Structure 1
Amino acid sequence: MQQNKRKEQQYRVLDVIISTLALIISSPILLLIAFGIKLSDIKAQVFFHQKRIGRDGKAFNMYKFRTMVVDAEQQKAQLLAQNEVEGHMFKMKDDPRITKIGKILRKTSLDEFPQLLNVLQGHMSVVGPRPPLPDEVAQYTSYDMMRLAVKPGCTGLWQVSGRNKLSFQEMVELDLHYIRNRSIKFNFIILMKTWRELTGKGSGI
């Protein structure tokens, strides 16, 4: 028990250091993104927050740069039949709700950077499973629920192993593999592969 507590403290210290440095270094780019979002739609809010489910099933507001039209959630119900991912997730390759600047942000994953604020708040880790939506969790089996045993992450094994090309069940298996083998070394490997994805120098794991 004491060893697990010490490990969690180490993860937390690294999370704070990495997220703080990342926000400081990327701040000029983040300001340009904020300006670009406002330029595309002066009425739209720069940040989008959405209820997500974190460790042990606790809800929190996850932050992202806005990449969709303002009424995206209302339009989702009309698009459910076009879901391209099996299981309890909703994904569309050519989602009509995504704005022009949003397509660029998503392609480069820059829309995810505000999640570093969630890391500083303690809701997320830099590395961990994808944080699910409440309506997704409502359909989880007891087996699926095991992926909520740790804090969700800004990046993770699923994100660098195929992401939207994988089924929901494949994502669950990757998350559980990560949880069983979680370590600072494993986190570092995932971060390096995430960097390669962002810079276009490689993919996969």
Structure 2
Amino acid sequence: MSTTPKLPSNKPGRPKSWTRAKMALFLRELAASQSVTQAAKSVGLTRQSAYRLRARLKGTPFDLGWEVALEMGFDQLAHAVMDRAVNGEEVPHYYKGELVGTHRRHDNALARWVLENPWRLGRMQVAREYTAPGFEALLERIEWANLDWEEGESLPVPGGPIEERAVGAKREDAFAACSWYAGEARKGRGSGK
């Protein structure tokens, strides 16, 4: 049986604190803004209190929700990096304060880095699986269920059946064993690169 981490209560005279609804709203805003400060402010709390809450709830659905929210931002960043690597960037040319033309500059070092490190454009494999459809299910889980994982609890797989975490881990290991992409990602993550 798991013990549920306690959230501070809102008592008279005590500053506002985290509720499950605020946790879900915070994660939605974090996914949209990629700013812990902005997300905390949107629920009337501070960045420091958000980090304290995450530390207290390490290894829980909220912790995974935080990673998923950041992963959604990394997807946006990855698209921007890929666009810049493929299409370059427009460089304006001015003469006496007036725009007279542009040229496109390509960053070959960036393109080479993307080709050599495709797995480094994201964060956490489990978080990747939850982006999009799984994120809403995870937020609902955070808002309405136990704050900690239940013993033997299954994780929902977006668009698919429910799997036990052990089954999901085996599936990820099997994928890593046969995929150069995932295998390299694990090597890179383990070596501190």
User: TM-score range, shorter-chain basis?
Assistant: under 0.3
Give the TM-score of the pair, scaled to structure 1: 0.25
Give the TM-score of the pair, scaled to structure 2: 0.26
